[in-house]
Amino acid sequence: MTVKAAADILECSFQKVWRIEKGAVPVRGTDVKLLCQGYQASPEMTEALVGLARETKAKGWWQSYGDAVPDWFELYVGLEGAASRMRKFEPSVVPGLLQARAYMEAVILADQPEMTTDDVQRRIAIKTERQGLLFRHFPPPPRLEVIVDEGALRRAPNVPGAMAQQLWHLLKANELHHVSVRVLPLHVGPHRASVSGAFTILEFPASDTDKGEPPTIFSESLTGALYLDKPQEIQRYEEVWATLANRALDEGESATMITTIIGEMNKSA
């Protein structure tokens, strides 16, 4: 049976099946039962495998935060931690991995203004934990390449000093050897990503004996996310990324623009 057929049984992405088969993630008993039915395993084998699945203790750090991490986002957090390279385009806000605390809180409340203080603090703790992967020693931190729209850098939250702090945070991030922050200026006009919106391309490490997991495209929405890993889907997003990379300012020019925006904010304050 092909990976696609197995993914169809679970109504999930290729990536999830790939990671289950590699033992990279725990597997739910209900998923094992569905797969056993699809593979026409005997009732005895199905019962044994479902029992084993229920005994698995492997958990990601994010599970300690309970429902603060939606089910559809858990897979992404695991993929993010396993990635060797991530490329992100963000048209509206600074990506979570590069958010400063005050800006982070403002973004969380903008999304869910009814959220309690305790829930906001849990979301901040989760984002902060995720950011730790950029400073880990082993395995080496992933290469992070970000292209952010100029409009996102000028869209300041209604919190005094929050945006200036965020912009300085981006300048410091751009000094890390494995992080690249580039700005897509407003004057470029409409472009290929104008329709796609924000997305992330994740790539995974290979070894001498393992070619590694296939790349995955992550695209988030208000109620869930898409995990795309078909060759034609990846190729389409690679083409969009190439267009963005061709139009965006380089790191030095981007740092100059960010510094200019900080100066403009200070003058108007």
Please name the residue that has the structure tokens 């490490």: 205
Q: What are phi and psi of 113, to 5 degrees?
A: -65, -20
Q: What is the CATH number of the domain that holds 156?
A: 3.30.870
- d(CA 99, CA 93) in angstroms, rounded, equals 9
Do 96 and 36 share a domain, yes or no? no
Q: How many CA atoms lie within 13 A of 100 on its CB side?
A: 19
Among 55, 84, 99, give the residue marking a domain's end.
55
- Lowest average pLDDT, out of 44-58, 73-87, 109-123, 190-204, goes to 44-58
- Is position 41 within any domain? yes
In a domain, 248, yes or no: yes
Instruction: Read off the pLDDT of each residue in 164-173 and give the average, rounded to a whole number.
Output: 97
214 or 187: which carries more pLDDT confidence? 187
Q: Which of 55, 76, 93 is the last residue of a domain?
A: 55
Structural domain tally of the chain? Answer: 2
Q: CB–CB of 54/87 below 8 Å? A: no
Residue at 77 is within a domain: yes
Residue span of the structural domain in which 35 resides: 3-55
Kindly report the number of other CB atoms within 10 A of residue 205's CB atom. 14
Q: Give the model's pLDDT for residue 90.
A: 96
Give dist(CA 53, CA 39) in Å, integer.
Answer: 16
Residues 35-66 pLDDT 10s: 999 999 999 898 888 888 876 655 667 667 77
Model pTM greater than 0.85?
no
Q: Are residues 217 and 138 part of one domain?
A: yes
Tokens 């100029």, residue located: 150
Largest CA distance in the chain: 73
Considering the domain architecture, whether residues 144 and 81 belong to the same structural domain is answered as yes
Among 11, 34, 55, residue at a domain's last position: 55
Same domain, 46 and 144: no
163 and 255 part of one domain: yes
